[in-house]
A = this chain, B = another copy of it.
Amino acid sequence: MGKYGRDINLKPTVNDIARVAGLSLATVDRVINDRPGVRNVTIERVHKAIKELGYVRDTAAANLARGRIYNFHFLLPESNNEFVSMLEQQITELSEVLTLERTKLSFERVPAFDPQAMARIISKMDPQDVDGIAIFGPENSSVREAIAQIKKRGVAVVALVSDLPDSERDHFIGIDNIAAGRTAGQLMGHFLAQGRKKLLVITGSMLARDHLERRLGFDQVMSEKFTDIDVLPSLEGRDNPDLLERLLPAAFATTPDIAGIYSSAAGNAGLINFLRLNDLDQKVMVVGHELTPLSRDALVQGTFDAIISQDTGHLVRSTVRVLRAKSDSLPINISQERIRIDVYLKENMPPLGS
């Protein structure tokens, strides 16, 4: 016996189960895969043998035999948005690697902040074509209904980035956005030196749950710990850089002494342009969301001071693992699937191609 245990007691196989239960492979397989046409007594016998031997099915072998191919489809918001583009890129990249693992990934853009459109698209999908979908978008009753329907037809569903908590989605893959908002608040509070300061919050859409939650968390911390900071009414930029760039001058005209900005949604391009054009980029403390090429640059230049982020690679890989597990009714490793709230300063930014 090797010191590091090279020779372990082999795990039992379907053959062992068949032998112990005194049945054929086919019957064992029927039971294992809940296929019809087996007497209850027989089912029991198989289950007993499985328990006794501690059998766990070898998924790799099973998939090999089936020639199974997983088809997963992402529904992403149709907005001019670096974060979403990064998701797309990760999907495309991962897709190549995954062909080896019999997994196909695809995506499509869905009108942003438009639950009706989302519901329509979900409803039109053919369960023959997809084993699982990942939905990044707002929730309403139509969306809930569409999800319930497609789930009933055997398609696994996860909510991506923004949760759909009242739907029947199998899982949510994304960060705790309240905590993310709280983190932004804590950083902002610490970064702004003592004294009465004014703070602007930029949000995306009041329809987007993730935006709402961030705002909520941020306000919690502000009112709990940093009562000397004035939080101004928020600016709703709809993740649209141009709109944002048009809205900002008015905000600064009304309140010229804004000391900090929490940019809680997308559309950073507009904000960065505005700050640089008006020579405010080194004066205002800015905390933003999502590490993208633009925000990276802003961090390096000192236009941004911190970025709260979530790893798009992790989001996509996690989606695939979870959808696969759900399609096979297998358990998931929660700790591996938990998406971290990343905090980036200029110093700990990971290198670009990552």
**Residues of A that sit less than 8 Å from B by CB:** 2-6, 8, 11, 56, 58-61, 63-64, 69, 71, 73, 97, 99-101, 104, 106, 126, 128-130, 179-180, 182-183, 185-187, 190-191, 193-194, 217, 221, 305, 308, 311, 313, 317, 333-336, 338, 340-348, 350-351, 353-354
Bound complex: CA of A99 vs CA of B10, how far in Å?
A: 10
Which residues of chain B come closer than 8 Å to A341, judged between CB atoms? 348, 350
Best-buried of A4, A58, A71, A221 by chain B (most CB within 10 Å): A4
B11→A99 contact, CB < 8 A: yes
With A2-B129, A340-B342, A345-B187 as given contacts, are A61 and B64 in contact (CB-CB < 8 Å)? yes
Contact partner of A186 (CB less than 8 A), chosen from B4, B8, B61, B345, is: B345
Q: Closest CB-CB distance, A70 to chain B, in whole Å?
A: 10
Bound complex: CA of A8 vs CA of B68, how far in Å?
A: 12
With A345-B187, A348-B182, A354-B335 as given contacts, are A129 and B3 in contact (CB-CB < 8 Å)? yes
| Chain B residue with Cβ nearest A56 | B100
Bound complex: CA of A6 vs CA of B106, how far in Å?
A: 11
A335→B348 contact, CB < 8 A: no
Contact partner of A129 (CB less than 8 A), chosen from B4, B73, B350, is: B4
Q: Closest CB-CB distance, A224 to chain B, in whole Å?
A: 11
Bound complex: CA of A335 vs CA of B350, how far in Å?
A: 10
Bound complex: CA of A177 vs CA of B221, how far in Å?
A: 31
Which residues of chain B come closer than 8 Å to A2, judged between CB atoms? 71, 126, 128-129
Bound complex: CA of A42 vs CA of B224, how far in Å?
A: 75
A4→B106 contact, CB < 8 A: yes
Bound complex: CA of A295 vs CA of B126, how far in Å?
A: 50
Bound complex: CA of A193 vs CA of B61, how far in Å?
A: 61
| Chain B residue with Cβ nearest A220 | B347
| Chain B residue with Cβ nearest A7 | B69
Which residues of chain B come closer than 8 Å to A5, judged between CB atoms? 71, 104, 106
Bound complex: CA of A186 vs CA of B343, how far in Å?
A: 13
Which residues of chain B come closer than 8 Å to A183, judged between CB atoms? 345, 347-348
Best-buried of A59, A69, A317, A340 by chain B (most CB within 10 Å): A340
Best-buried of A6, A194, A346 by chain B (most CB within 10 Å): A6
Contact partner of A193 (CB less than 8 A), chosen from B8, B194, B311, is: B194
| Chain B residue with Cβ nearest A217 | B347
A-B contact pairs, 19 of them (CB 8 A): A2-B71, A3-B126, A4-B129, A5-B104, A5-B106, A6-B69, A11-B99, A60-B63, A182-B347, A182-B348, A190-B190, A217-B347, A221-B347, A313-B336, A340-B340, A340-B350, A342-B342, A343-B343, A343-B345
Bound complex: CA of A3 vs CA of B125, how far in Å?
A: 9
Q: Closest CB-CB distance, A184 to chain B, in whole Å?
A: 9
Bound complex: CA of A186 vs CA of B348, how far in Å?
A: 10
Which residues of chain B come closer than 8 Å to A56, judged between CB atoms? 100
Contact partner of A313 (CB less than 8 A), chosen from B60, B217, B305, B335, is: B335
B340→A4 contact, CB < 8 A: no
Q: Closest CB-CB distance, A13 to chain B, in whole Å?
A: 11
Which residues of chain B come closer than 8 Å to A194, judged between CB atoms? 193
Which residues of chain B come closer than 8 Å to A350, judged between CB atoms? 338, 340-341
Best-buried of A190, A317, A338 by chain B (most CB within 10 Å): A190
A354→B342 contact, CB < 8 A: no
